[in-house]
Structure 1
């Protein structure tokens, strides 16, 4: 059986130099993948990804996720090509429909068609296919080609999706599907079944598509402080993800009270309403032993990758260090290496 990968998801809100330092630390500790989120109004993920590519030699890197509404397919192809070149073939590409784009006046019609056609155009460009493409949303005129050499024609595609139709699309065209904002082992089987609607018609084994689950992570030796911080973070998106998870039985009145406090700007009070069992569905939180137990449950359920998302700890660097030196050894059943000596 292939060993599950362990990754870190970082927000693109840090100054230059911070990403290279965190990336070196993460690689030395033994992480497999570094992801940068593509959230609205944060720095474009290509900036931290290129910085981390220059600071590492082994880890895979990619954005999770870019979207075909705010960035044209040829630009997405260019960004993944640049990252693949800078990392010597370690790039992957994450695509999703995007969120909150109405705030900048961008509509998101026919998202599944947009994602499918974006991927088609992007890979045609990377492969050097000059036959052209005419879709419902995107077109590529015959003879159109990139005017630079690419490192690989086929960097792996990850689709971000929770729903049945998005998972079916991932089953047809993607190497991985990411369920963002979930730490729930119960979602793994749900997503696997939803993938079959795409893999079966495409003649692919469903196991070919890796399931990735990632969520807010706060680890600290002070487990109570870590869980308190995680509650505050989760409160901001609980109503959205709880509605997407068919296995989660979160009371409607709880969601209404949490949402009302978040809308009023009182995130701490909102987080205090979230009980332990709900928190554990949507965040990795607590001591290293608690976080490792949560991640192991996902691995046992069959994920290909567990992604520990920001803020990682009470501070980002302390969190990454603790995840690498105290959580990873528990998951890999091996003695903790002196990873920090190579920083």
Structure 2
């Protein structure tokens, strides 16, 4: 029987030492996976991930996600190899096309080709294959190889995507697909069908691809305060992700109003425009019972991993502690087994 995993997603904006402390507490509470976001202008994920690897013994760790435009595939291969060595085989590799890279002058042409070829190059390097690769966007000259030992030739691959083409690519080549910014169980069958299309192209069982849903999380005994904070956090990206969810039916005037206030730096005001039912589609927020119910709905829908994202609570430590002691014990992790193909 497939048992759903529970993950914790961290923003890379903390001080040295904070990551190790939070990682130890998360592992003690029973979290299965620790992810570090690769968002533009934050610390590179490899720094917190290596710190957390040294502080833990069991949890899986990985970036969610790196992209092949701001980091070359050979560099990504080196980072995942380093993390896998440091964690003794607990690393996963997260890749996505990346967002907002235009702000630093980086174009993102042909994202599906870039992702597929980057994966090919990374896997060849980690496997020690010296035959070379001549792709449309990336290449390896024959004889090119890493000059150090790796722990595993193929750590698990996670792709981050919402759309039909990205999900189909995951169906062909990935171990997991992450839908970032969603807490909506109605999206699970939509994404599963998109993955299945890609899996069918290569004769693969779509159940081999685990679905990961993750979003902003704010939990507190004061549920109203938690939801107010979550509204502010969600406002910043609602205009991006709402259009990606065909089941959400977000009014255009609401989105326009939120975006206008966010662009003006008035995030709290923008958040107050978001009604509670819409908030629940794009964030886990409220008291522990409400957050647990949201996560359980995703597990029941067949999600393989639920990832609670930053900021977790009204404080970092308080949120992690409450998720571990008051949310995780309420979850039945087995209902999604049939949907995962077990």
TM-score (norm 2): 0.97
Separation in 2 of the partners of 1:250 and 1:145?
49
Q: Secondary structure at the residue paired with 1:237? A: helix
Alignment: residue pair count: 333
**Aligned counterpart, 1:339:** none
How far residue 196 of structure 1 moved from its aligned partner, in angstroms, is: 1.3
Q: For structure 1, list consecutive stretches of 5 or more residues without a partner in the other structure.
A: 334-343
How does 1:124-163 map onto structure 2 within 5 Å? 124-163=124-163
Q: Secondary structure at the residue paired with 2:331? A: helix
How does 1:168-207 map onto structure 2 within 5 Å? 168-207=168-207
Q: Which 4+ runs in 1 deviate beyond 3 A?
A: none
1:50 aligns with 2:50: yes
Separation in 2 of the partners of 1:190 and 1:238?
19
**Aligned counterpart, 1:224:** 224
**Aligned counterpart, 1:253:** 253
Q: Secondary structure at the residue paired with 2:284? A: strand
Separation in 1 of the partners of 2:273 and 2:289?
24
**Aligned counterpart, 2:100:** 100
> Residue 6 of structure 2 contacts residue 305 of structure 2 at CA under 8 Å; is this kept in 1?
yes
**Aligned counterpart, 1:340:** none
Q: For structure 2, list consecutive stretches of 5 or more residues without a partner in the other structure.
A: 334-342
How far residue 197 of structure 1 moved from its aligned partner, in angstroms, is: 1.5
1:94-146 deviations in whole A, cap 9, x for unaligned? 00000110111000000000000000000000001111100000000111110
Q: Secondary structure at the residue paired with 1:271? A: helix
1:300 aligns with 2:283: no
1:216-247 deviations in whole A, cap 9, x for unaligned? 00000000000000000000001111100011
1:25 aligns with 2:25: yes
Q: Secondary structure at the residue paired with 1:62? A: strand
1:264-303 deviations in whole A, cap 9, x for unaligned? 1110000001000100000000000000000000000000
> Residue 181 of structure 2 contacts residue 215 of structure 2 at CA under 8 Å; is this kept in 1?
yes
Q: Secondary structure at the residue paired with 1:65? A: coil
**Aligned counterpart, 1:8:** 8
Separation in 2 of the partners of 1:104 and 1:258?
25
Q: CA-atom RMSD, angstroms? A: 0.6
How does 1:279-294 map onto structure 2 within 5 Å? 279-294=279-294
How far residue 332 of structure 1 moved from its aligned partner, in angstroms, is: 4.0
**Aligned counterpart, 2:64:** 64
